[in-house]
């Protein structure tokens, strides 16, 4: 895996060992940022939920995001994110090694807001998480903020936000929502 664009373009990043984490591949990551459009995420505040290797948030920081918060409950994956941040010498990052829904609820309670949110739970868990996500994701997005959800290709997420697009990439689906 490598960073696709920005200040760290071409740099290789680490992925957690084992089968518990499914890192977003280079092709799907590149497609996600292409769907966001030119200039994104320049200056943005980013939340990477179910971060895994941190590839999406790392890519956002490389492309000019101001801050990124990585949320992952697997300790090995958290160490991998920290290792990637150190290797790439990226600043403005926070790694929270905790359950994504716990972090999401805490952000909603404290009024934290993000311009760009990536949600990439284990594919088999998305349908069981969708109701909790529906409850809190609109609260933490800034007006005009963007949400990118990665699911299995057969799954079509439904959230109370304006759907901009939904596209398949092999076994993955990227769905982009906009907060009005």
Of the candidates 178, 147, 142, the residue with the CA atom closest to the CA atom of residue 49: 147
CATH topology classification for 28-178:
Rossmann fold (3.40.50)
Instruction: Specify the higher pLDDT residue, 126 or 18.
Output: 126
| Domain positions in the chain | 28-178
The 10s digit of each residue's pLDDT in 7-52 is: 999 999 999 886 566 778 889 999 999 999 988 999 999 999 999 9
Contact partners, residue 97, CB within 8 Å, separation at least 6:
72, 73, 75, 78
Instruction: Quote the pLDDT of residue 23.
Output: 74
Instruction: Quote the pLDDT of residue 17.
Output: 81
Strand partners, 2: 12
The 10s digit of each residue's pLDDT in 43-96 is: 999 999 999 999 999 999 999 999 999 999 999 999 999 999 999 999 999 999
pLDDT confidence bin for 163, thresholds 50/70/90: very high
């Amino acid at each position: 895996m490598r960073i696709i664009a920005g200040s760290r373009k071409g740099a290789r990043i680490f992925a957690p060992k084992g089968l518990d984490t499914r890192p977003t591949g280079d092709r799907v990551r590149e497609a996600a940022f292409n769907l966001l459009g030119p200039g994104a995420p320049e200056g943005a505040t980013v939340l990477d939920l179910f971060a895994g290797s941190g590839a999406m948030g790392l890519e956002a920081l490389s492309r000019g995001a101001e801050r990124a918060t990585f949320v992952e409950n697997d300790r090995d994956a958290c160490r991998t994110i920290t290792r990637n941040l150190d290797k790439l010498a990226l600043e403005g990052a926070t790694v929270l090694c905790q359950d994504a829904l716990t972090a999401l609820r805490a952000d909603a309670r404290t009024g934290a807001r993000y311009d760009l949110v990536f949600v990439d739970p284990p594919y088999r868990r998305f349908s069981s998480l969708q109701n909790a996500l529906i409850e809190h994701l609109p609260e933490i997005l800034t007006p005009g903020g963007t949400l990118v959800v990665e699911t299995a290709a057969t799954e079509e997420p439904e959230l109370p936000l304006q759907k901009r697009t939904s596209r398949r990439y092999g076994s993955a689906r990227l769905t982009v929502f906009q907060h009005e």
